[in-house]
Structure 1
């Protein structure tokens, strides 16, 4: 069975938060249920175990989702379990945030990644020529998608974002998105409910060639030199959460579709 058969739209659904439909329209594609979608062994690969190894960073440097796990990853990312997992991350982060009292100087910040953390690229990764990371990354096609400025919010992480702001923390976006998309990213964030932030840090031309760990470590170090204290750090990649000045606590959003070193 080719991927084009099961990647057709059955219905338009919305990413939900706490079992409620999202107030912001976030259309994504739903797949038909397939054998193996629950994580059963397919062609020698246990896809649930593979995803566990990815999320725990036991499997590193991988390039593609195993072709036999494409349907499993697709069902996970577009299904209830992914939303519940994101909510579990957000709930844990909120409980931690409640234990920290922001200082009066306004220098306590939470750092948020963008792709697959605050904004979702599911409408892109569900396409038949992308197949949830089972086909090699195409920089041109992905940048064309980013330029559309239509990425929906990840509701649970947006709720976390708004909650830490209500508790008195400043928020900072730190992303590997190229600076040329600054205007598009700002509009996309505003349209999906991210209404304010202390800083939006995107990747400049002088940062190309650096690994994500190096780039994000340097930018976090700059924040610290400016007097900011990183209370929390949220990202979908381990490279968002390791290196220097990672913050007092880090929180990983699930993402079995790709690996960024």
Structure 2
């Protein structure tokens, strides 16, 4: 995928502003000049390599912890775009260049086809096997999306969590 001249520096400047605490300014969409760069990041492997690096760091930390037998050792993971991916939905929204569409997202989520993010599924399984109570949280609506979200997580291998907490 060819990134137009200037797009990389535009993207890097926007990313700095978006990721810096107390962002330079609020933003509702990814700037359209960043589309090609974001798409390349998501699809050409860097996103996966970044996830693997972060999960490896978390696993190193976990390996230093000796959970007690009191049942109080817990870990919290977000559902959307942490445990399961909405990349297919966001591809249709030009990776955030188009505004978020709550009704469109709900229709996507109701399909129950969000794939697991492999690195995070490995982290999840490690946590459960090592005695942590894992809580999954999401802003998804309990009434509308509760069962389909639970089924989707189960189908993707997220089995053994303590509780799924929905909005």
Query: What TM-score do you get using the length of structure 2 for normalisation?
Result: 0.92
CA RMSD, 1 decimal? 1.7
Is 1:199 the equivalent of 2:163?
Answer: yes
The equivalent position to 1:139 in structure 2, one of 80, 96, 102, is 102
Contact 1:178 1:202 in 2 (8 A): yes
Aligned to 2:35: 70
The equivalent position to 1:165 in structure 2, one of 128, 134, 138, is 128
Task: Write 1 or 2 for the structure with the bigger share of helix.
Answer: 2
Task: Write 1 or 2 for the structure with the bigger share of strand.
Answer: 1
Contact 1:120 1:154 in 2 (8 A): yes
Aligned to 1:176: 139
The equivalent position to 1:80 in structure 2, one of 35, 45, 50, is 45
Q: Runs of 5+ in structure 2 lacking a partner?
A: none
SS for the counterpart of 2:139 is: strand
Query: What TM-score do you get using the length of structure 1 for normalisation?
Result: 0.60
Aligned to 1:34: 2
Is 1:188 the equivalent of 2:152?
Answer: yes
Contact 1:98 1:167 in 2 (8 A): no
Is 1:149 the equivalent of 2:112?
Answer: yes
The equivalent position to 1:95 in structure 2, one of 57, 60, 77, is 60
The equivalent position to 1:55 in structure 2, one of 16, 19, 38, is 19
Counterparts of 2:9 and 2:94, CA distance in 1: 17
